Amino acid sequence: MKNGAANMVKKHIQMIMNWLYLIRKGMMVQKWSIAVFHADDIIVSAKILYDMNLDIPTLQASNVTDVQAEFVADPFIIKHDLQFFMFFEVMNKASGRGEIAVATSLDGSKWDYQQVVMREPFHLSYPQIFKVKDEIFMIPETAETNRVLLYKAKQFPTHWEKACELLNGQFLDPSIVEYAGRLWIFAGTAERNLHLFVSENLEGPWIEHPASPIIRNDHSISRPGGRIIVSGDHLYRYTQDCYLYYGSSVKVFKVNVLSESEYEEEEVSQVMSGTHKDSDWRRDGMHHIDQLKINDHQWLVAVDGHMFKKSNYFAWKLDRMIAKAFS
């Protein structure tokens, strides 16, 4: 009992010290935005992305019209009924949580924000959208619930319902892919591990791979950074490099062996990072990529990036309180 009380006092002291630090130094807030573009290659090189004219993001917080958004991030694209739909995280200032919104496009170049389509009493992000036969599903990150949840479109794209629980555990950015007649989920953890699960059916049962965790205690290659791409006999796995700080850059790995008993991969390259240009929306880092194959020689690619902005803690807190009062 005494130890518990002492630990509680220590936590309160640490909290007060953190507040005092934020008040004195200010806080660095990550402002995330999204860009969408067409590419000719399956892997977009870091140089091509750096040189590309992406001075103005395709979608940013100011484009969100139905809630007061702090930022937008984690885009995933799907084509349905001759139209493109992009689902992404909106950080709602009023709730202080991530919610899932959608934007639409007829050509993949001009995008129109629509609305928030999913909100829960817990944080949502990383809304991987995919089709199974004629049905559309989504696996967002729901780590706060200590579960990986599957959602099914009841009325696409605006109405969703929980279908089932896929995994139990606090998994980050779960990424699903179909390969070799089975379904696979790659999922990170706060412990810097990357876990791998396999199933013959979407709703399970899901079994952890015997080699899992396939990455252990490595902040630079363990957290998924976007949809896993299938090309011929190989998979390409994107991963966030969070070694320096969260949202620093993205690397790509080529999976050479994936079976029920074996897993082997090799690093290909770094594909995204900050530009370090003073006023660039992606100045300080990038951490997510999604690709949709348009035809044999063209991909529609969505990425996000951020810049740090210094903010007074009280001003930031007041801004959220005002947003909540008028939501």
Tens digits of residue pLDDT in 48-63: 777 777 889 999 999 9
CATH of the domain at 204: 2.115.10.20
Percent of residues, the chain, with pLDDT higher than 90: 76
pLDDT above 70 (res 34): yes
Quick one: pLDDT at residue 11?
Answer: 63
The pLDDT of 67-81, averaged and rounded, is 97
Provide CB contacts within 8 A for 293, sequence distance 6+. 299
**Is residue 325 in some structural domain?**
no
Print the domain residue range for 245: 27-311
Give how many domains the chain has, as a whole number: 1
Q: What is the mean pLDDT of the chain?
A: 90
Q: Is residue 49 part of a domain?
A: yes
pLDDT given for residue 309 in this prediction = 85
Is the residue at 268 inside a domain? yes
Cα gap 115→213, rounded to integer Å: 37
Residue 2 is assigned to a structural domain of this protein:
no
Residue 185 near residue 173, CB atoms below 8 Å: no
Instruction: Examine residue 171 and state whether it is found in any structural domain, yes or no.
Output: yes
Which pLDDT belongs to residue 228? Answer: 97
Q: What is the pLDDT of residue 1?
A: 47
> Does residue 119 surpass a pLDDT of 50?
yes
What's residue 26's pLDDT? Answer: 62
What is the b/e burial string over 109-124, where b = at least 16 CB atoms within 10 angstroms of the residue's CB? eebebbebbbbbeebb
Please indicate, yes or no, if residue 322 is contained in any of the structural domains: no
pTM of the predicted model as reported, rounded to 2 decimal places: 0.89
User: Please, which pLDDT band fits residue 22 given cuts at 50, 70 and 90?
Assistant: very low
pLDDT band with cut points at 50, 70 and 90 for residue 21: very low
